[in-house]
Amino acid sequence: MIRLRVALAQINPTVGDLDGNVAKIGAAYDQAEAAGCDIVAFPELAITGYPPEDLVLKPGFVADNLAALDRVAKRTGRCVAVVGYVAIDRDLYNAAAVCVGGAVVGTYRKRLLPNYAVFDEARYFKPGDASDPYELYVIGGVKVGISICEDVWSATGPLAEQAAGGAELNININGSPYDAGKVSVRERMLATRAADASCALVYVNQVCGQDELVFDGGSMVFDAEGTLIARAALFVEELLITDVEIEPVYRKRLLDPRGHATDEPMRLVQVSDAPVPHKKPIVGPIVPLPDLDAELYEAIVLGTGDYVRKNGFTDVVIGLSGGIDSTLVACIAVDALGADHVHGVSMPSRYSSDHSKSDAEDLAKQLGIDYRTISIEPAFAAFLEMTSKSFEGKPADLTVIDLTAENLQSRIRGTTLMALSNKFGWMVLTTGNKSEMAVGYFTLYGDSVGGYAVIKDVLKTRVYDLCRYYNQRAGREIISENVISKPPSAELRPDQRDDQSLPPYEVLDPILRLYVEEDRTAAEIIQLGHDEATVRRVARLVDLNEYKRRQCPPGVRVSPKAFGKDRRLPITNGYRG
């Protein structure tokens, strides 16, 4: 039996920040080397950050990425570093460099390029193939194969092929984005791959927010039986170090009909003869997984904080209406950035209820954030007066309200928030949820105005769940029960409630899950037992409002299919299935 000490560098890179990423890689490498590690693995495209998108179409960027890799390789000593970068050889490749002793001693090119959901890798990269044969790296006497992200999802892919060629350990580097429920699915898949291949498996993932995507980390190590032996935490940077015992597995491969030898030649690259001897083995931790509410909440916090900071902002401003959506966004912002960097603004009109104003003020006190009140009534009255002649024959006096005046109030609030953003350099966080985004229950250039849409991928019923989770986690009622229990309302006309314009959210959200996230047609949803008139109406609203969603800011993706990079339907669309 051989014991290798491996480090999983679960870092938070920034796309395009080559110098910053090299510094993070270097710091983690030094820690791994000091701990006597034989191998340290870094995430997919760690040099460039993932996904670099059209940056890789810039020849200068690709050249700078190669120079950055050279800097990383030159600082390596005995510990082998596996580092993701963009390789070039007539075409571009999503690649992993094997670095040791101050040099790059091998390169692996990703073979399975995802081109679905949020992935567009076939747009940028050519896959590795049999013309670029596998190499196994003999590290401490162990035959080590390399793979990249999607490669491990295929049961007959590179991991199985390398194991059939003699690999005893596989290093799988990743940029695997989060969505609710994926963590447990991913773990089951990896355990199965390791067991089926009789090959120990090291899975390292980046942990960061990148525009709409969140990468959750959760790096893991499995032995050749598929048993989880170490797991890093979700949503935090970490260097996970553990010793992996490599048992002889040739007998199982000989007896298992799935363990046939591969026809593809595999060159052995000798790196080191023996692992570093250690008197006391390191047993890596298996960090417990959070429940689904905690997981979802932390994903949104990470995505929001990284988006704000990586785009050069320190502070955010939020329109606090006293409603549940803006309440949750304020709580997330405080956890992402700190209370000193969050500014809440109440912008009452003649239709704002007393409890909404008091609920907003109470929340600000509970969170310890800056809070101010700016009444929009003077501007609202002025706009109504200004447009009164043009609107003759339509409701326009100061006692009558219509949709035009409702949207006018929302747009005045959006203008006010953007004025504060311009004056103080604060990013505006919008507060609309996925249910509202789906059916267009928001005002274009009004409450949709801002830099980042924090809960745009969270259905309304889940907003309530997250608010209850927040109080439970705090051990006290920070979000008042009045905010959670009162009927939701935009308060743009007297006694307005959301359910006057929309089906109840308990009815709406299941239909949206089926129509938006599962791509079911209206006819299929009706067949599942949902009311036909309601389904037809909801589907029509979703389709009609595609043009509005295209003009909204990006936001954290936490579902299997979000509006934005994920769900790409035409604005001009005559299909009524």
Active site residues: 44, 110, 149
User: CA-to-CA distance for 104 and 92, rounded, in angstroms?
Assistant: 18
User: CA-to-CA distance for 271 and 59, rounded, in angstroms?
Assistant: 32
Task: Return all residues near 528 (Cβ < 8 A) that are at least 6 apart.
Answer: 514, 520
Cα separations in angstroms, 509 against 437, 442, 481, 555: 12, 16, 22, 19
Token representation of residue 350: 């003649």
Bridge partners (DSSP) listed for residue 563: 567
Helical spans, DSSP H, in 88-230 = 121-124, 158-164, 182-197
Whether residue 225 contacts residue 246, with contact meaning beta carbons closer than 8 Å, is answered with no
- Kind plus residue range of the DSSP H or E element containing 547: helix 546-549
Token representation of residue 73: 């390789």
Three-state SS at 176: coil
User: CA-to-CA distance for 462 and 125, rounded, in angstroms?
Assistant: 38
Token representation of residue 438: 């789906």
Radius of gyration in angstroms for the set of CA atoms belonging to the chain, rounded to a whole number: 27
User: CA-to-CA distance for 567 and 549, rounded, in angstroms?
Assistant: 11
Token representation of residue 495: 């006694």
CB hemisphere CA count around 350 (13 angstroms): 13
User: CA-to-CA distance for 204 and 208, rounded, in angstroms?
Assistant: 13
User: CA-to-CA distance for 282 and 35, rounded, in angstroms?
Assistant: 10
CA angle 519, 520, 522 (to 5 degrees): 130
The sign of the CA dihedral 105, 111, 113, 114 is negative
CA angle 173, 178, 183 (to 5 degrees): 80
Helical spans, DSSP H, in 198-318 = 250-255, 292-310
- Kind plus residue range of the DSSP H or E element containing 270: strand 267-270
Angle between helices 460-474 and 292-310 (to 10 degrees): 100
Strands 103-109, 91-100: pairing kind: antiparallel
User: CA-to-CA distance for 551 and 574, rounded, in angstroms?
Assistant: 21
Bridge partners (DSSP) listed for residue 174: 205
Q: Which candidate, 455, 413, 415, 447, places its Cα nearest to that of 328?
A: 455
User: CA-to-CA distance for 417 and 424, rounded, in angstroms?
Assistant: 11
User: CA-to-CA distance for 564 and 566, rounded, in angstroms?
Assistant: 5
Token representation of residue 102: 């101050």
- Omega within 30 of 0 (cis) for the link into 51: yes
